């Protein structure tokens, strides 16, 4: 089963690549690796939520937003390599969580991205990861995710 078929089985499709907010591109390939820019929880051209996790945004909602960020990152990867069958392995995920000062559950939020990647790619979706709490993200987004993947 291809990664795109697996996404379909999960009720998901690759979205259009989210347009950059500034002077950068959504993804860059160098050698056998693709690096994505940070992806926000955008769907149909709209930011799905704003605010800090642990205050205006619940950890459960932030988990779902991290899944959306990962889906957008996969779209960015596909825009550079054609289809997701070219992905050999997800190497690294970096998740940023705009956090209320008392919130310390960043790893569980970023699991939204990590678990989606494992569902789509199986063992090849298991990766190294950082889950970082930050004061604010672009557009006051609650979550941002970037990927490094190895491609054929």
Q: Which domain CATH number covers 123?
A: 3.30.1330.40
Enumerate the H helices of the chain as residue ranges: 3-9, 59-81, 106-121
**pTM over cut 0.85:** yes
Tens of pLDDT, residues 21-61? 899 999 999 999 999 999 999 999 999 999 999 999 999 99
Pairwise CA distance, residues 60 & 94, whole Å? 19
Residues spanned by the domain of 112: 3-151
Reported as a pLDDT band with limits 50, 70 and 90, residue 5 is very high
Reported as a pLDDT band with limits 50, 70 and 90, residue 101 is very high
Q: How many domains does the chain have?
A: 1
Pairwise CA distance, residues 77 & 92, whole Å? 13
Q: What is the dihedral of CA 108, 113, 114, 118, to 10 degrees?
A: 140
Per the structure block, which two tokens stand in for 114?
């990590």
């Amino acid at each position: 089963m291809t990664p795109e078929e697996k996404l379909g089985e999960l009720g998901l499709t690759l979205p259009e690549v989210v347009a950059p907010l500034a002077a950068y591109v959504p993804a860059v390939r160098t050698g056998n690796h693709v690096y994505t820019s940070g992806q926000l929880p955008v769907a149909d051209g709209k930011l799905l939520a704003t605010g800090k996790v642990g205050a205006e945004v619940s950890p459960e909602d932030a988990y779902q937003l991290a899944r959306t960020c990962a889906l957008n990152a996969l779209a960015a990867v596909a825009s550079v390599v054609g289809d997701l069958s070219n992905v050999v392995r997800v190497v690294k995920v970096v998740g940023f969580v705009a956090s209320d000062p008392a919130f310390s559950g960043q790893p569980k939020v970023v699991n939204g991205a990590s678990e989606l990647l494992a569902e789509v790619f199986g063992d090849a979706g298991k990766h190294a990861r950082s889950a970082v709490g930050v004061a604010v993200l672009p557009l006051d987004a609650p979550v941002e995710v970037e990927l490094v993947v190895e491609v054929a």
